[in-house]
Amino acid sequence: MGTAATNGSTGERLQKLLAAAGFGSRREIETWITAGRVTVRGQVAKLGDRAVPGDLIFLDGKQIKIAASKGNPRVILYHKPIGELVTRSDPEGRPTVFDKLPKLSPGRWVAIGRLDLNSSGLLLFTDSGELANQLMHPRQEIEREYEVRVQGGLSEDAVRQLLAGIELDDGPARCKRLEPLKTRKDSGSNRWYRVVLAEGRNREVRRMVEAVGGRVSRLMRVRFGSVILPGHLSPGRCVEIEPAQLRALVSERQT
């Protein structure tokens, strides 16, 4: 059997090249390569293979086109409405956030974190899988800020527990800040809070509140690092962030 044409010293490692083009994280792409889903120049790729923009690359039989040169990463801010999924397709046909994003070719938008179906607010997307992976990594400790409505409110003891840290099924978690939200009007027994975390695990705010006996009835992300959800941006709309905003966001990564 012959060796893959990308087994040379030229070009980038395949997973790095595809991640930089926005097709996923390096780890995700490595699983595709291991599973034999990627071909380069007509041969099934292997971990360690290299490629350059312009090489004939296919994923699951569909050609992947990579620009010969990419400038600075692009990042767009999307105001996610309740009821949209952060996935590329849904077997049940429910709407996804990707349905409303501007078309990107070559490459594709990669979500920087997620929000669940019943949550709304700020979502960031980039054309650089590497940047997305770096900004999402827990070691970066980039703040996420939420406006959260809790049925019945939180007791003083519950607030102390959440600030001190609690144990969830996937490890310890704590609120970096937790305080009543004075810009939102409480109604009935519902109470609004400002919640700041330094990570973004799946449904983390909801699970933390449930762990101390509460229940979240509304959740809206309003900030990711230095990027704030614009008050004028209506749900379902997006805007590309300015170069200065992007530089500030990237500078928040831990070195």
| pLDDT at site 105 | 74
Q: Which of the 8 DSSP states describes residue 4?
A: P
3-state SS of 235-247 is: CCCEEECCHHHHH
pLDDT at 71 over 80: no
Most confident among 49-63, 106-120, 144-158 (mean pLDDT): 144-158
Could you give the residue numbers annotated as active site? Answer: 116
Residue, of 109 and 22, whose pLDDT is higher: 109
The pLDDT confidence band at residue 40, using thresholds 50, 70 and 90, is very high
Where do the DSSP E strands lie in 110-186? 110-112, 120-126, 144-151, 166-168, 171-173, 177-180
| pLDDT at site 23 | 79
- Cis peptide bond N-terminal to 106, omega within 30: yes
Which secondary-structure segment (H or E) carries 13? strand 12-13
Question: Residue range 159-176: average pLDDT?
Answer: 95
| pLDDT at site 68 | 61
Domains annotated on the chain, with CATH = 12-64 (3.10.290.10), 75-138+228-251 (3.30.2350.10), 143-224 (3.30.2350.10)
Where do the DSSP E strands lie in 106-229? 110-112, 120-126, 144-151, 166-168, 171-173, 177-180, 190-197, 216-224, 227-228
Residue pair 178/184 in contact by the 8 Å Cβ criterion: no
pTM above 0.85, yes or no: no
| pLDDT at site 45 | 93
What percent of the chain is modeled with pLDDT above 70? 93
* pLDDT tens sequence across 204-245: 999 999 999 999 999 999 999 999 999 999 999 999 998 888
Single-letter amino acid code for the residue at 199: E
* pLDDT tens sequence across 77-96: 999 999 999 998 888 989 99
